[in-house]
Amino acid sequence: MDRRGFLSVATAAATASLWLPEVVNSADSASAAGFVKPRYPQSVIWGLTNKASRVAWTVDDGASETALHNYIDFLHKTGTRLTFFVVANNRPWRTLRRELLPLVRSGQVQLANHTKSHPDLTKLQGWQIRRELTECANFIEGEYGVKPAPIFRPPYGYYDDRVLREAAAGGYRSCVMWYGTLGDGSNISASERLKLARTWMTAGHVVIGHANQPTAPTDLLKIRQIIDGRGLHTVTLDDIWRS
């Protein structure tokens, strides 16, 4: 998992200040929410809530055109709601814009900030951190017409107090982490990915995947079957917290 000391996640999630709604969506649709959404919290987000049948499937990077294409096709066919954390320098976000844009405009897909070039932000100067976030935001707004603020995900999950302060100065008050992974930040087998999906696709979790290695459409459908079999509804982060 792309985070130092993943075993510390449980402790951090348990003690994090999470601002959580308590109403369950009746379908994978923002219009089915039926509640006034709170604003994004000024904190690190590790999960949603275990009191509701929702799961937030998030996908990072987008280095593989094949993987991103398969995700987009899967989303069109299944109605799955998903949050992409975009690395602006990755070319597939440009080449697949036409296919992805209708999903973004409808709100089924949310685009969020994962920096321009995917550096370890803890090793950068303040102005460099702000530039990474600003240039990614400019790309997303220019190509897709939406603003990713106020949420971002630091590359590799690496952040410290200074990164959080610099991000907040640029309008990014919510740092989105995860409480579950599909393990596909590197090339793993389909069976390994599905095993991790069975482990982590549970109520209240933010689950991280990556669009960097070719992911077969059938693998994505199997993950969706796990979600459906558990009576869960997929949500974007904007579905939970008002942007």
**pTM attached to this predicted model:** 0.87
Side chain identity at 120, as an amino acid letter? D
**Backbone φ/ψ region at 96: left (φ over 0), alpha (ψ -120 to 50), beta:** alpha
Token duo for residue 162 = 């200074």
CATH code for residues 50-155+178-240? 3.20.20.370
pLDDT tens, residue by residue, 87-102: 999 999 999 999 999 9
Examine the pLDDT at 171 and tell me if it is beyond 80: yes
Domain-by-domain residue ranges, the chain?
A: 50-155+178-240
- 214 versus 40: the higher-pLDDT residue is 40
* Residue in this structure with the two tokens 């993950």, named with its chain if needed: 223
pLDDT tens, residue by residue, 58-73: 999 999 999 999 999 9
Q: What is the pLDDT of residue 169?
A: 95
H or E element, residue 195? helix 190-200
